[in-house]
């Protein structure tokens, strides 16, 4: 998986600025929400955490999806290198 065209044209700095804005807005809500950009995939990640324990209750996309995306990218890279 790769970032969407909108994310790519926005630029990483602008995307991170938007993420900060969203996080500031979410702090005003009841609950523990956090938005970030996954370094390995460039995808936006939303986490909902338990306010008492700090444990992640829900993450979108799930960590398994992020890990699979990185694995697929590595496999594609290996296949491209073999054909070169």
The model's pTM is: 0.61
Q: What is the DSSP string of 7-20?
A: HHHH-HHHHHHHHH
What are the backbone angles phi and psi of residue 48, rounded to the nearest 5°?
Answer: -115, 125
- Distance, in Å, from the CA atom of 57 to the CA atom of 51, rounded to the nearest integer, reads 10
Q: Which pLDDT belongs to residue 7?
A: 46
Is pLDDT of 40 > 80? yes
Length in residues, the chain: 84
Question: Residue 69 sits in a domain of what CATH number?
Answer: 3.30.160
Number of Cβ within 10 Å of residue 41's Cβ equals: 20
How many structural domains is the chain composed of?
1
Give the domain extent around 20.
5-83
Which of these, 70, 21, 17, lies nearest to 42 by C-alpha position?
A: 70
């Amino acid at each position: 998986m790769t970032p969407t065209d909108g994310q790519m044209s926005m630029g990483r700095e602008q995307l991170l600025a938007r993420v900060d804005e969203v996080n500031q807005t979410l702090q005003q809500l009841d609950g523990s929400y956090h938005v970030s950009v996954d370094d390995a995939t460039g995808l936006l990640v939303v986490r909902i955490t338990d306010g008492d324990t700090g444990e992640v209750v829900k993450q979108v996309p799930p960590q398994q999806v992020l890990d699979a995306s990185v694995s697929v990218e590595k496999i594609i890279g290996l296949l491209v290198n073999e054909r070169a």
